[in-house]
Amino acid sequence: MLHQLPRCAPVDHSAHAGHTTLHSSGLMLMRYFITGTAGFIGFHLAKSLLKDGHTVAGFDGMTRYYNLRLKEKRLHILQGMEGFHFTNAMLEDQEALQNAIEFARPDVIIHLAAQAGVRYSLENPKAYVVSNLIGSWHVLESAKRINIPHLMLASTSSIYGANTSIPFKETDRADEPLTLYAASKKSMEAMAHSYSHLYGIPTTAFRFFTVYGPWGRPDMAPLKFTKAISAGTPIEIYGHGKMSRDFTYIGDLIESIRSLSGVVPCETNRVADIDTLSHQAPFRVVNIGGGQPVGLLDFIETVERCVGKPSQRKLLPMQQGDVPRTFCSPDLLEALTGSKPQTDIYTGMEELVKWFNTYKNELDL
């Protein structure tokens, strides 16, 4: 069976002695260091791990790229949970990051913090260089310094850029990024591979495909459309609606990340033919998506059903840097973990709309 794929021998945690414990349920409790814990994905991941008794050291810069009240509320929830410790600092602050990681002595580093957004990279390109390149380099340096057993890095489907091969496979060439955001993430992957080769750092880079759900980013279509349709204001539909996206529900994404955290890249878990496991380093790239693209107009109709109101539509041409469709091959993810994202778009959006109706006034959404 796919989920019985052999994994690497247990990592020697002697350098982390006293930190890894056994829960009464038999679950091995571990220490995680997660960048971006005030962000959408980092919040959900930290919350899931803390609920299971793991320790999470969070690190985030609390930037004002979007609604700071939303970030503060996420952080407030995490700070009320046992086992969470937080450092408020920027990735560019190498000393603060290094000190936080060395204090945490984690078993796994999961680097989620980044300057996100395809369109914003046209307005403020420097933010992407500083955060996604310099900041990620600082993470790599700290991972090397403590000899981390497993480093995990968040990448993006935007890397596939002008690739015309559908569905997007991890083994496809991704050498034609269409935005600086995509280029910065591709560069991060390349830097991580070099560190994995030079210093033997087991590294998994995972590429996201349009993640959505409760506590999501207000600059992305799922929440932006929900807000506009609820308020009766027009929504802007780019590409005249002739686009499609592989939407990934946040709960599915967290399950996939957690499953991959236990699959440390090595030869004993290489998947024949479809694997990206490097022959020069313990480094692997994995798509996280369900492989079920949804047309933009179908997605809008789903939001309308969940909100209970029709939308006012403003059709516009394709924006600079956008791609007409994203379509993920989940085969490698399924081979490595035995599962893939499966939540349908209606079920996922129903949960997002419920959350929006609960928090829209409190968070000024």
359 assigned to some structural domain? no
280 domain residue, yes or no: yes
CA distance 203 to 97: 19
Give the model's pLDDT for residue 24.
Answer: 46
**What residue numbers bound the domain in which 176 lies?**
2-215+247-290+328-342
Total number of domains constituting the chain: 1
Pairing verdict, β 235-237 and 211-212: unpaired
Length of the chain in residues, anyone? 365
Active site residue 181: yes
Query: Binning pLDDT at 50, 70 and 90, where does residue 19 land?
Result: low
Q: Is residue 107 part of a domain?
A: yes
Q: What is the pLDDT of residues 203-214, one digit of tens each?
A: 999 999 999 999
Position 11 pLDDT exceeds 70 = no
Q: Compute φ and ψ for 294, nearest 5 degrees.
A: -120, 130
Sequential DSSP letters for 153-218? EEEEGGGGTT---SSB-TTS-----SSHHHHHHHHHHHHHHHHHHHH---EEEEEE--EESTT--T
Give tens-digit pLDDT for 120-157: 787 889 999 999 999 999 999 999 999 999 999 999 99
Rounded CA separation 65/285 (Å): 28
Counting residues of the chain whose pLDDT is more than 90, the rounded percentage is 79
Q: For the beta carbon of residue 96, count every other beta carbon within 10 angstroms.
A: 17
Q: If you average pLDDT over residues 86-92, what whole number do you get?
A: 97
Q: Average the pLDDT over 27-31 and give the result.
A: 89
Predicted confidence band at 8 (pLDDT cuts at 50, 70, 90)?
A: low
Taking 80 as the threshold, does the pLDDT of residue 33 lie above it? Answer: yes
pLDDT of residue 319: 79
Cα of first residue to Cα of last residue in the chain, in angstroms, is 45
In a domain, 198, yes or no: yes
Question: What are the tens digits of pLDDT across the range 175-225?
Answer: 888 889 999 999 999 999 999 999 999 999 999 999 999 999 999 999 999
CA–CA dist 241, 270 (Å, integer): 40
- What's the pLDDT score for residue 26? 53
Listed residue (19, 33, 30, 15) closest to 91, CA to CA = 33
| Best CA proximity match to 109, nearest among 138, 73, 80 | 138
Residue 298 lies in a domain: no
Q: Please report which confidence band the pLDDT of residue 28 belongs to, taking 50, 70 and 90 as the band edges.
A: confident
What is the predicted pLDDT for the residue at 239? Answer: 87
Is residue 229 in some structural domain?
Answer: no
Continuous segment of H or E residues that includes residue 334: helix 331-337
CATH code of 33's domain? 3.40.50.720
Output the pTM of the full model. Answer: 0.93
Q: How confident is the model at residue 284 (pLDDT cuts 50, 70, 90)?
A: very high
pLDDT at 221: 94
Is the pLDDT higher at 323 or at 6? 323
Per the domain annotation, does 284 fall within a domain?
Answer: yes
* Mean pLDDT lowest among 53-62, 109-118, 297-306: 109-118
Residue 39 placed within a domain: yes
Chain-wide mean pLDDT for the chain? 91
Lowest-pLDDT range, 20-34, 58-72, 325-339?
Answer: 20-34
Catalytically annotated residue among 32, 66, 160, 181:
181
Q: Between helices 221-231 and 296-307, what is the axis angle to 10°?
A: 50
The pLDDT value given to residue 80: 98
Given pLDDT bands bounded at 50, 70 and 90, which one contains residue 18? very low
CA distance 47 to 137: 26
* pLDDT digits 0-9 by tens, 59-77: 999 888 888 999 999 999 9
